[in-house]
Amino acid sequence: MPLKFEPKYAITNDILKKLLEIEAIKERVRFLPLTPKALASLRESSKLFSTHYSTMIEGNRLTQKEVSEVLLQYKQIKGRQRDEKEIKGYYKALHEVSKLVNKKSNITEKNIKTLHGYIMGANKPTPTEYRTEQNVIKELGSGRIVYLPPEAKDVPGLMSVLVSWLNENKNIIPIPILAAIAHYQYATIHPYYDGNGRTARILTTLLLHLNGYDLKGIYNLEEYYAKSLQTYYSAIDIGESHNYYFGRAVADITSWIEYFITGMLESFGKIEEHIEKEKGKVDQSKKLNIFDSRQKQILILFEKNDSITSKDLEKLFKFSPRTARQLAQKLVKSGLLKMADKSKKNRSYKLINK
């Protein structure tokens, strides 16, 4: 069949009403005050929640507490190596999303492949190639075929068409609807043997954040999907046939878009309520722009500590002890830190008063 993409859907009154509510919340949140400390904390929490819920959808067994311990405290959970690898991969992919947003990148196949590479465990930007054979999605237990994706030979063309369509329509179609369509079509193409669901969700995050729907980077949609997995699967399982070529490719996806928009509104509403509690505090986040990315990471260490040591820098950046000591000395010379304890055994550093 021809490799083209013309999504079929309608903007119902319910969708339109919710789109307007999303826009209103987006604008209100934009002007709500947050301190840099609160903003950094909320952003980190959002990444941890996204990581937990998106991998939980795929069967990851780690709890939210364990996810935080593995990612922030470098704790190892006995018998959960595969689960640890999954959350580390998704967490790295979220950091890559932040980098792409800061660069104001377009949606490209290379960026999608790179995000998938991180999700599958890459430690550096490593684009992964699409599948070269057919894969089949079967129901756990019964073995019943749930979905038969397009043939491998069609995947590169379908992905190229999807990416072009997204970039061509980002100024025409409302971004929340565009994100819903991106999620649906990526999952429908199923370009890889594994990691398609996680990549579809992270592609949605990238598209929303690139186009002004980041909400200061402190919300996530994954919790909405995860709280009722059957509803999530039912919403995206559209078409008269489980075969891509006989149903999914030409299905009307209005019901999926309604489900997705409802989730956005629910997630946005929760964040607005949360930020309201922080009212009255001044948002000084722009002042942090004088620091480079490494210095910002170091500043976060001081949220819970009055002082830090070179060991803390060693652990944060995975440096050698010598490199960590040299960095600490450099930060003292630059005027960011000052010596708190000069003894060799307990040498520590504090932020300068300013």
For the domain 293-351, what is the CATH code? 1.10.10.10
Query: If we measure between CA atoms, which residue out of 205, 241, 203, 243 comes closest to residue 221?
Result: 205
* Prediction pTM value: 0.78
For the domain 34-276, what is the CATH code? 1.10.3290.10
- Cβ proximity of 195 and 120 under 8 Å: yes
Q: What are phi and psi of 33, to 5 degrees?
A: -75, 140
The pLDDT of 148-163, averaged and rounded, is: 96
The pLDDT of residue 280 is above 70: no
Give the model confidence (pLDDT) of 71-95 as tens digits. 998 899 999 999 999 999 999 999 9
Residue 282 has a pLDDT of: 47
DSSP state for residue 243 in the 8-state scheme: B
Average pLDDT of the chain?
A: 89
Map out the domains of the chain as residue ranges: 34-276, 293-351
Give the model confidence (pLDDT) of 104-143 as tens digits. 999 999 999 999 999 999 999 999 999 999 999 887 778 8
Query: If we measure between CA atoms, which residue out of 222, 223, 166 comes closest to residue 197?
Result: 222
